[in-house]
Structure 1
Amino acid sequence: MSFENLESASALQVVDLIGQSLSFDSVSRQAFFYLRRRVAELEETNEQARQALEKLNEAVEKLSAPANRVGTLLALPKKEIALVVQGGTEFYCSIDPRLGHETLLVGTRVLLNEAFAVVGDLGFDFSGPVVKVLDVLPDNRLRVGHEGVGGSFVVIRSTPLAKERIKAGLEIRVDGFSRVALEVVATSKTKHRLLDRVPELPWEKVGGQKEAVGAIRDAVELPFLYADLFAKYHHHVPKGFLLHGPPGCGKTLLGKATAYNLTRKLREETGEERKEFFLHVKGPEILNMWVGESERQVRDLFEQARELAHEGFLPFIFIDEAESILGTRRAGRFNSILNTLVPMFCAEMDGIESMREVVIILASNRADLIDPAILRPGRIDRKIKVNRPDRAGSAEIYRIYLEQDLPYAPDLLEQTGQDRGKAIDLLIQGVLDVQFARTEQNRFLEVTFRSGRKEYLYRGDLISGAIIASIVERAKELAIKRAISDPSDHGLRLEDLLTALDIEYLENDIFPPSDITEDWLKLVDYDPQNVVRLAPVVRREESTVRQVV
């Protein structure tokens, strides 16, 4: 460097240039190097201060700059032009060329600068109001509204939902400005509450209901297997059937078995491959406090069944506790839901040609409470009584739950020559002898008829598949506890079943309140018009007393 370029030189470079042009003795040389070191330190300090000042100025500039606004992209009407909503107002905005308009999607959040130009893409929001789709408009827009709240509004679809199939009744999430539908919300209520895959349930696993099974097979299987013959005779194919009878006797089990066996029979006999789809609905689940919501759920249920039928499934609509939603209509403010729900159900059933489209099964403990318009021929064509099992039927049910691979007591197996089938038969015979015995110990209810005649009902008169299943489970529990306390004493015994039998009847409150005479009589299958008095037998410490109803 020469002296002509001093203006562009740093202080340290000037010191070095002076040192090159002078001659020093030892003292002055030492002073010169000290000066040079000090100049270098000061220059480094100045550089650090300059960098710190630049960062400070940058931070001050950012903090004092106006904030960017966040909007929702509604459309891209032109190249590098965006239609954006922000704060409830729409803006026609330019797009920063560096951003690229082809990467922006309808519904995404965008950054807007002071000039309301799009300068950033924030992606889709992960929160927002959830609303229900009320209708799909012809141009693919959606009319939505809040459940139970009057009024509705229309939203457009985001890019991901542009081609997705959306139907009325689904719940969707919209953006914060309620202008764009962002996603379908898959709630458990809309996706899983109604759907119940049918387990493998052949008729052999349904015990104690031969008459009901035979009636179901005649009403359901024959029209499918012999469709040509039914058409030749111009025979009307039923639309649905009602399973009615006491609680715990297998109405739900029969419904699921119908779905499984019908599709299996179709596959074996005709080669028609149709997968069953069981829509299991409990009546009270449909009831809703909001006006029109219960009716909408009925419409959605039938619409879902029709869609499944179009997809090749054989849908079964099984409505448990049907009397709760299809009860007899009466005048009065408290029956307004039933007054509209029953006609809606009738209208949906009238839209079904036959069971080849949708199989409708109703189940009820109180068929007498169901509206006659539902049960008339042409809607629910078959009424099948599910009775309590008799002794032979109870033996079938016990045999289903007392499986071959269960551990049985060694002395019991020795008695039957290690034949497990015979051992199971001995257990069943022993417990049924006690359960169906007409002894005072088994007596639980005294019935007085209008004629003055009296009858006693016994434990065997109140038997059901649910009670038998519970007895077997209790017996297993007793055997497990005994094996824990004494490992050498293991396996199911007759004593376990008999103890479980006593516990089941004594522990559970299986009767209605004593002041509801009609419910008592329906529970034991008696006509209320022929009975004047009930006297439940209550046992306390070996004594028998009667509580008059």
Structure 2
Amino acid sequence: MPEPAELARRLAEANRLLEARARALDLAERRLADARADTRTLAATNEKLNSTLTAARESLVTLREHLDALASPPNSFGHVVGVAAEGVDIATGGRLLRCAVSPELPSDTLVVGARVLLNEALLVVGMVEDLPAGETARVAEVLADGRLLVTAASGEELVLLPSATLDVAALRPGATLRTDRRALLALDVVPRSEVADLTLEEVPDVTYADIGGLGAQIEQIRDAVELPFRHRDLFAEFGLRPPRGVLLYGPPGCGKTMIAKAVANSAGSHFLNIKGPELLDKYVGETERQLRAIFARAKQHATSGRPVIVFFDEMDALFRTRGSGVSSDVESTVVPQLLSEIDGVEALANVIVIGATNREDLIDPAILRAGRLDVKIRLDRPDRVAAAQILDRYLTDRTPLNPGGADAAEFRRSLVEAVVDRLYERSDANRFIEVTYAGGDREVLHVADFVSGAMLAGIVGRAKKAAIKEVIQGGARGVRLDHVLAACTAEIVENGELPNTTNPDDWARVCGRKGERIVFLRTLTGSRAIEP
């Protein structure tokens, strides 16, 4: 048994060792905490180094790409003109090459007409958008296999391949295409003012019942236009060829255009209303091209069996006498183009040409000869009976009238008679123009010499407007006699202000006054006199 002193010493030694161990443990824990802090610091530093290295690597890659781009040769452009199992046919720089395609490029995107990039090894490496520019050409014909026969601006004819995005079925002769001549490709359609903008193809809503005072002329044109189409078998049996054309001529405002529309309506035909002056173009050959396109469209419609009417309004604007020196001599090529379309080698079946003019003396005689415009119908100014018939078309039983207790039908007839009497009375009040002929004779023309269907329609329109204004102001409803007479006076005065041309003879021809040349005219409704 150790002595108490020994035990105390041992206890003290144990306590000392325990304290030493505690201090060592505390030191170790502090060192461990410091190590952990250092580890966290090193980890953050390492993360920053990694980010810096990544950014540096990306910068190096970008710089290398830029360097490679600067050092690489330029890529070339081309158009796909064919696709084969071995590759694609590319037109580039005027050459036709069969090139391989990069594996990274989807092969289904390579179609005819696509614009591609070629590297220095002539490998197709990319697709690019097409340029919205290029040469233009006009479609002359769509061939049976889908190729296009076109005419370039120089007049040269080319056969081009259509691009995959081009709707060949919708193409018509005369359409403008954007092309790549060196690749022999037609890329797309260039929108522009085409023949479709110059024609009206729907059937008009004008009927013969809407036309008054032209019964004889209507019968003539129905015999010329409708009979051959309604009775083809009889014409074939008698060996009679239908007329190819009709000329409607006469003073302005006398119903030429209305008759042409009524013919189209009655026959149930296609009606191509050609805006004649708009066909004129400053480029040589453009007017002729549009004429060809018009007749090509007419022949296309005629294949359905329905008649096609090609109506040229103001025909003298396009087909003047060749060599007259009156115009810019454009008619020297336009007139032969029309003649070749009317009676050329190709048959013009189911198509009839109707022309309207108030200057038939300016139209080339070759157009007017028999076999071309076979039927010539003059539409004169209406007489008293015809004027009454025309007024009946505008002053109908549906027009609100103010008869003042009288019978409405009788009152309407009295209004018509009042207008006719006012216009056709050859009195001093109706003196219109005094003309002097080249021989020295003078003649006074009255209002009755210048009445037209348009003038009669204008009188009724003025009377109706006066009645409407009176209703708006709180007056009685309906057209009265004083409305009609006031409208007659206003229409006469307004038309009396119109003869202001410096060439009296030209004015006389436009108005339908044929015969001896007029050298001087004086308006009697005003103070002006017109001299040559």
Alignment of 1:536 with 2:523, yes or no, is yes
1:415 to 405, 421, 424: 405
Change (3 A) 1:426 1:56: farther
Alignment of 1:225 with 2:225, yes or no, is no
Q: Which amino acid aligns with 1:438?
A: R
Alignment of 1:445 with 2:433, yes or no, is yes
Alignment of 1:53 with 2:56, yes or no, is yes
Cα distance in 1 for partners of 2:294, 2:85 equals: 45
Q: CA deviation at 1:213?
A: 0.7
Q: Using structure 1 for the length normalisation, give the TM-score.
A: 0.79
Cα distance in 2 for partners of 1:120, 1:283 equals: 50
1:94 to 87, 97, 100: 100
2:352 to 359, 383, 388: 359
2:80 to 73, 76, 81: 73
Q: Which amino acid aligns with 1:132?
A: R
Which residue of the partner structure matches residue 164 of structure 1? Answer: 169
Change (3 A) 1:89 1:385: same
2:369 to 367, 370, 376: 376
Q: Using structure 2 for the length normalisation, give the TM-score.
A: 0.81
Q: CA deviation at 1:110?
A: 1.7
Alignment of 1:321 with 2:310, yes or no, is no
Q: CA deviation at 1:30?
A: 4.1
> Runs of 5+ in structure 1 lacking a partner?
1-21, 264-275
Cα distance in 2 for partners of 1:61, 1:424 equals: 97
Q: Which amino acid aligns with 1:526?
A: R
Which residue of the partner structure matches residue 520 of structure 1? Answer: 507
Q: Which amino acid aligns with 1:218?
A: D
- Any idea what the Cα deviations from partners look like across 1:513-536, whole Å, max 9, x if unmatched? 454232233244333327675433
CA contact (8 A) 1:128 1:176 kept: no
Q: CA deviation at 1:356?
A: 5.5
Which residue of the partner structure matches residue 208 of structure 1? Answer: 213
Residue correspondence of structure 1 range 81-160 to structure 2 within 5 A: 81-122=87-128, 126-134=132-140, 141-147=147-153, 149=154, 151=156, 154-160=159-165
Cα distance in 2 for partners of 1:131, 1:151 equals: 10
| Secondary structure of the corresponding residue to residue 192 of structure 1 | helix
Cα distance in 1 for partners of 2:531, 2:217 equals: 35
Which residue of the partner structure matches residue 309 of structure 1? Answer: 302
Q: CA deviation at 1:218?
A: 1.8
| Secondary structure of the corresponding residue to residue 323 of structure 1 | helix
CA contact (8 A) 1:88 1:177 kept: yes
CA contact (8 A) 2:520 2:530 kept: no
2:38 to 17, 35, 39: 35
Q: CA deviation at 1:499?
A: 3.7
Which residue of the partner structure matches residue 288 of structure 1? Answer: 281
Q: CA deviation at 1:246?
A: 0.5
How many positions carry a matched residue from both structures?
504
CA contact (8 A) 1:224 1:356 kept: no
1:279 to 250, 272, 275: 272
Larger Cα-atom Rg: 2
Which residue of the partner structure matches residue 389 of structure 2? Answer: 396
CA contact (8 A) 1:329 1:335 kept: no
Q: CA deviation at 1:198?
A: 2.0
Which residue of the partner structure matches residue 174 of structure 1? Answer: 179
CA contact (8 A) 1:309 1:358 kept: yes
Which residue of the partner structure matches residue 433 of structure 1? Answer: 421
CA contact (8 A) 2:322 2:332 kept: yes
CA contact (8 A) 1:444 1:456 kept: yes
CA contact (8 A) 1:243 1:385 kept: yes
Change (3 A) 1:424 1:175: farther
CA contact (8 A) 1:206 1:253 kept: yes
CA contact (8 A) 1:80 1:101 kept: no
Cα distance in 1 for partners of 2:36, 2:413 equals: 114
| Secondary structure of the corresponding residue to residue 188 of structure 1 | coil
Q: Which amino acid aligns with 2:447?
A: R
Q: CA RMSD in A?
A: 3.6
| Secondary structure of the corresponding residue to residue 53 of structure 1 | helix
| Secondary structure of the corresponding residue to residue 240 of structure 2 | coil
Which residue of the partner structure matches residue 465 of structure 1? Answer: 453
Q: Which amino acid aligns with 2:368?
A: L
Cα distance in 1 for partners of 2:463, 2:424 equals: 18
1:348 to 324, 341, 346: 341
Percentage identity across aligned positions? 36
Q: CA deviation at 1:444?
A: 0.9
Q: Which amino acid aligns with 1:286?
A: L
Cα distance in 1 for partners of 2:125, 2:255 equals: 66
- Any idea what the Cα deviations from partners look like across 1:258-294, whole Å, max 9, x if unmatched? 111022xxxxxxxxxxxx2112223333333444333
Q: Which amino acid aligns with 1:386?
A: L
Change (3 A) 1:338 1:135: same
Q: Which amino acid aligns with 2:200?
A: L
Cα distance in 1 for partners of 2:485, 2:51 equals: 94
Cα distance in 2 for partners of 1:126, 1:530 equals: 59
Q: CA deviation at 1:97?
A: 3.1
